Structure 1
């Protein structure tokens, strides 16, 4: 139970050596980081803060023994079909979709057990970084449920529909190496905290508007296939020619060669 001097999450903003803002959202709700009502409410508030004032990169991570042992089953007790649907709709509208729509790279760092809601949140991020000992699972079958924050479809996008059905229907746990082989986890590293933070800093220092354009083009592909992505790319990419970052990087390339440009996110 959360006491008045505790908070289930922690949202901190720092700047890189080049002045780019990075937001770190940490789950800090006891050793198992269970998603109870307080945790969901805190996460919704943090995502709203990130949406209202976007940084140039976001890192999601966790304190404690586990990234999360999943949802506190008390959340499901007594739900009617209508209230259950409302819960999932809220988590799509106020967590999964806003995370995906942030105009900057979003990284999830998994150092340990990452179950149910936490895994589904990770799948809504752009890049998943994991420690070798991390284990992942969508284990909702233990309460007769299917993952309902977008996990199955996002897992299918990364690993294929057959793998998604296997992982969800068995309720088994999968290690980082296996999910890296499947294309679900992007990077496996022993120094998870340092490497995830370094990646967040590196992406924050990059051309933020171009990263946002990449996300928008891929989102178009996800919703409408290659033809839809092709249809929106000319305008989305064309708009980048009005950005200070592209104009400055082109001048830097021509004057000094590749790799020497710096970016402001504008």
Structure 2
């Protein structure tokens, strides 16, 4: 276990955010504070890719219910404002983000995964939004981001039934991107994140902006942002270098992208 329940480490262009608060990696006040701090650090100094993972048998058993005891409508709203901030911050990072799930992934951890570009999981991983057991609805952005990925009907199903869903089911529903054997998740997710970190970071950010515009306003809004967002790429070092190398060497030009 680390000194804090969540630690942020850098490996070149890759940032790795690890949840590490055994035995259940519960989201309590200390975890909330660590998540907010990590998100702010990432926003202040964005990496070229982010991997979110967890140590231990589970990714997370969810939120420590003690955090909800005695809250009023006002203090509850303040809590959700606090917790939506890191979700939105991670979602808006100008780089690819990957969430790796190797086991049980409940409530806050599941919602955090939905802020990432890609969710990868082991075959034994299970996911759930089980807030109805204490009379709540998920409020860290989960329902709306599930609806964005899987449709509104599936979002209602996951939330209202409070059932657990395996990784392969969620892959079919377009929530999880890739499913691997359990023992491969850590290595393969890191390999994927490293590969994304070595790519044309500005182009990846442009992709995120275009897809976000589509999510917010459909094809029309996405088309509106393309000229400015994609046009700016012609002034990036990565594009200019890669185009010159392609002309000289062909498709297998082997350009090393710098993220600029």
Partner of 2:258: 264
| Corresponding pairs, count | 257
Q: CA deviation at 1:81?
A: 0.4
Q: Which runs of no fewer than 5 residues in structure 2 stay unpaired?
A: none
Q: Alignment partner for residue 91 of structure 1, among 83, 86, 92?
A: 83
Alpha-carbon distance in 2 for matches of 1:96, 1:7: 19
Q: Which runs of 4+ in 1 moved over 2 A?
A: none
Q: Alignment partner for residue 226 of structure 1, among 214, 219, 230?
A: 219
Secondary structure (helix, strand or coil) at the match of 2:47 reads coil
Partner of 2:21: 29
Q: CA deviation at 1:156?
A: 0.8
Secondary structure (helix, strand or coil) at the match of 1:147 reads coil
Partner of 2:172: 181
- Is 1:214 matched with 2:212? no
Q: CA deviation at 1:6?
A: 2.4
Secondary structure (helix, strand or coil) at the match of 1:24 reads strand
Match runs of 1:1-266 below 5 Å? 6-15=3-12, 21-93=13-85, 95-190=86-181, 191-259=184-252, 260-266=254-260
Q: State whether residues 70 and 115 of structure 1, in contact with CA within 8 Å, keep that contact through their aligned partners in structure 2.
A: yes
Secondary structure (helix, strand or coil) at the match of 2:15 reads strand
* TM-score for the superposition, normalised by structure 2: 0.97
Alpha-carbon distance in 2 for matches of 1:109, 1:89: 25
Secondary structure (helix, strand or coil) at the match of 1:38 reads helix
Alpha-carbon distance in 2 for matches of 1:245, 1:31: 44
